[in-house]
Amino acid sequence: MVLNCPNCRHALRQVIYEGVVIETCDHCQGEWVDHSEIERINQARDVIFSLKEAAVIPGAKKSVPGTIASRDKALSCPHCQIPLRVINYAYDSGVMVDKCPQCGGFWLDKGELESIQMIVETWEARDSEIKARFAPVLSRIREDVRQGVQDGRPRGNFIKAFLYDIIQDK
């Protein structure tokens, strides 16, 4: 079955991108990526982007609030034929993409797939840094939770401790 581009209605062509088969539009250069395909692409790492390349992507630097891009027309899923929804990829990446609410596939405008890859790579690098920096604090919190109630006051669970304090004050 030939899929048509949601943006310009030209036929989509299958290509291999980072070892994953995706559909691309030769006319507008957008890409259709199934939900499972985008995960596999982000895990593949056939191409690693430099810090200089990642620096030009707003979401690769930090979380940025996304704004819904305006379009002249609503786009429809090439598989399901239902309207795509504009979402901020990974909730706060700043990369606004079109997602099918039924099959979970993504329509990515030119350059958005690379932007997503750069952002994921940057986040994963920061994740290791953050885990290392906060490991002692997390260890203390885990220990507090394991100990449960100590000194007559629940520890490790803010809500329980808060409610316990209210009850004790009465």
Please indicate whether residue 49 or residue 124 has the higher confidence score (pLDDT). 124
d(CA 3, CA 41): 21
What does each C-alpha distance from 148 to 136, 140, 153, 155, 156 come to in angstroms?
19, 13, 9, 6, 7
Question: If pLDDT is split at 50, 70 and 90, which confidence band does 133 have?
Answer: confident
d(CA 53, CA 82): 35
Mode of pairing for the β-strands spanning 31-33 and 85-88: unpaired
d(CA 129, CA 114): 23
Nearest to 24 by CA among 39, 37, 36: 37
Report helix, strand or coil for 70.
Answer: coil
What are the tens digits of pLDDT across the range 11-54? 999 999 999 999 999 999 999 999 999 989 888 765 565 556 55
Of 4-8, 13-17, 53-57, 107-111, the one with minimum mean pLDDT is 53-57
d(CA 170, CA 168): 6
Q: What number is the average pLDDT over the span 127-148?
A: 71
- Rg for the chain, CA atoms, rounded: 22
* % of residues, the chain, pLDDT over 90: 39
* Boundaries of every domain in the chain: 12-125, 132-169
